[in-house]
Amino acid sequence: MMKQDLKSLNRKEMINWFKKENYPGFRAEQVFNWIYKNGVDSFHEMTNLPEELRSELDEKASVKSNLLLKKTLQASDGTIKYLWELTDGETLESVYLPFYEDMRHSVCISTQLGCAMNCIFCATGKGGLVRNLTTGEIIDQVLEIQKDISSGEFGKPGITNVVLMGMGEPLANFDNVIKAVEILNDEKGFAIGIRRITVSSSGLVPGIRRLAELNLQLVLAVSLNAPNDLLRNTLMPINRKYPLDELLSAVKYYIKKTSRRVTFEYILIDNVNDSPEQAYELVSLLRGIKCHLNLIPLNPVRGVKYRRPAREKILLFRDIIEKNGIAVTIRQERGPDIEAACGQLRHSGSKG
């Protein structure tokens, strides 16, 4: 019999599972508390549960980690990159990013093994999609990093921000991702404020509209990377299915439903999308949309021919956007000495 992975269930589902197995609902609350407030991964350590119940649960369910740590790389700025192996032998990446100046402890996690979107500047897209991650596999990335960074006591320091922006397109694994967000946000789970959870999408229009209906108040980040369809078609094949007018209309719908500002991510690539003309074109595209633009100078990827623009070009691009009244920032570079861009550790790990 396949054991039920309890980390793939949100609290309500866990209570229902316990009831279905003829245990009182409060036992589920106790187990939930052990997992997320104490970082316990064995029923036998759950000391306020009768011993008989612990043994029974051990037969039917699992709270063990779905991830086996294969490798970590730590950068001089405190960034840690993790490579995990899953139970089926596949590998997966996540990154921990501490921001000491404002006490933020952020993690960037993956939602799929590989990715079907095939963006040309990305290492993950090269191998195609292997499969969706389960909710338990998504949650375990946060749990395991939390254990790793805790000094002595689980949750100290606590992870404050979660970004679903690693490998994969989160909205293509919608149900598992939303359930993971619920567990992360649950006050009896990780209790991470919903506005500190970011879901990043390459522009999967139906997923954005579905997310809008949920009105979750999380941060939606849309990876834009080009100011027109012609260029975006070549950088991000998803644009051929959902071109910019459809994408921006879904984004406006999201803003209307949630009253939240949307973040647009724009990876700056030398001589591809970084000219002053393209900055002006971007201004016209985004004018009137309640948004924030995040410029990300490309992290060079092995096997990908694109380069990062020179600093002056990046600043000029930013200035044009800013002077035209659009909120814009340049993403601070993190962990450059450890290949911190998405997909790179897995890439180098699997290629040996």
Task: Name the residues that contact ligand SF4, by CB under 6 A.
Answer: 115, 117-119, 122, 124-125, 167-169, 202, 342
Closest CA to 63 of 8, 138, 135, 133: 8
Active-site residue flag, 342: yes
Residue closer to ligand SF4, measured from CB, 167 or 345? 167
Quote the least distance from Cβ 176 to ligand SF4, whole Å: 16
Closest CA to 110 of 133, 81, 143: 133
Query: Using a CB cutoff of 8 Å and minimum separation of 24, what contacts does 239-244 make?
Result: 239/203, 242/203, 242/204, 242/205, 244/285
Query: Using a CB cutoff of 8 Å and minimum separation of 24, what contacts does 156-161 make?
Result: 157/103, 157/105, 158/105, 159/105, 159/106, 159/107, 159/190, 159/192, 160/103, 160/104, 160/105, 160/106, 160/192, 160/196, 161/104, 161/105, 161/106, 161/107, 161/192, 161/196, 161/197, 161/198
- CA-CA distance, 115 to 123, in Å (whole number)? 10
- CA-CA distance, 19 to 194, in Å (whole number)? 28
Quote the least distance from Cβ 298 to ligand SF4, whole Å: 11
Active-site option among 29, 52, 93, 265 = 93
Residue closer to ligand SF4, measured from CB, 170 or 189? 170
Quote the least distance from Cβ 156 to ligand SF4, whole Å: 32
Residue closer to ligand SF4, measured from CB, 122 or 320? 122
Residue closer to ligand SF4, measured from CB, 146 or 294? 294
Terminal C-alpha separation, the chain: 36
Q: Residue 204 has which token pair?
A: 């999967």
Burial code of 303-340, b = ≥16 C-beta within 10 A, e = fewer? ebebebbeeebbebbbebbeeeebebebeeebbeebbb
Residue closer to ligand SF4, measured from CB, 56 or 90? 90
Quote the least distance from Cβ 225 to ligand SF4, whole Å: 9
Active-site residue flag, 13: no
Quote the least distance from Cβ 133 to ligand SF4, whole Å: 13
Quote the least distance from Cβ 347 to ligand SF4, whole Å: 11
Closest-by-Cβ residue to ligand SF4 is 125
Contact indicator for 204, 172 with CB cutoff of 8 Å: yes
Residue closer to ligand SF4, measured from CB, 143 or 167? 167
Closest CA to 173 of 94, 258, 116: 116
Closest CA to 226 of 110, 306, 145: 306
Active-site option among 119, 122, 291, 342 = 342
The residue whose two tokens read 């649960």 is 57
Residue closer to ligand SF4, measured from CB, 118 or 275? 118
Quote the least distance from Cβ 223 to ligand SF4, whole Å: 6
User: Any idea which residues carry the catalytic annotation?
Assistant: 93, 342
